[in-house]
A and B are shown apart, each in its own frame.
Chain A
């Protein structure tokens, strides 16, 4: 078996597609025994708000329900469930502290289990990454 690999993602958009992509990669990586860290910044931070129900971008927002239903048919849980699955699998979810101030989001507005990080704290985690993804 190879050494434990570290996956680091930055999510800067809060739409359904970006959120689902990040969570599917994260939950698969965690299922492969990888160490997963996701940093949510700018509009991506909206994904961590309690009760977040992200929509597809622009005109496609009208098709969000159809996408969700088709994914559910294939056993893929909706976004809130993906998030709780991630926490169960030990995925680390980080909120960008500057974005919290910019968007007036407080720790209590976000789901439980989110850690708040600044840029240096995030870079410290990312410095030991084997794989890095920017989702935005």
Chain B
């Protein structure tokens, strides 16, 4: 299943802090769409995924809004 976390309007580091909290409550194999309009998220989300061992499946961008599909691997 795919969960959604709308973090629009949140400044760094809140999208990452909330992403970590949300992912903690999810099951391995579940996916999450994180939506953010923070430009810093372009670097932050891949960094978070790499550091925590989760998978960034896809990144989409439209009108300054980024959508990250993240799969929980652990």
Contacts and interface: CB of A to CB of B under 8 A. Distances in A.
B14 A32 contact: no
A28 interface: yes
B74 interface: yes
B51 A74 contact: no
Interface of B is mostly: helix
A32 B48 contact: yes
Contact of B16 (A2, A28, A34): A28
A2 B54 CA distance: 11
Chain A: interface size category? 10 to 19
Interface in B31-74: 47-48, 50-53, 74
A2 B51 contact: yes
A33 interface: yes
A22 to B, nearest CB: 13
Query: In the complex, which of the residues B16, B21, B51 has the most CB atoms of chain A within 10 Å of its own CB atom?
Result: B51
A84 to B, nearest CB: 13
28 contacts: A1-B51, A1-B52, A1-B53, A1-B74, A2-B51, A24-B13, A28-B13, A28-B16, A31-B13, A31-B17, A31-B19, A31-B20, A32-B16, A32-B20, A32-B47, A32-B51, A32-B52, A33-B51, A34-B51, A71-B11, A74-B9, A74-B10, A74-B11, A75-B11, A75-B14, A76-B11, A76-B14, A85-B17
Interface of B: 7, 9-11, 13-14, 16-17, 19-21, 47-48, 50-53, 74
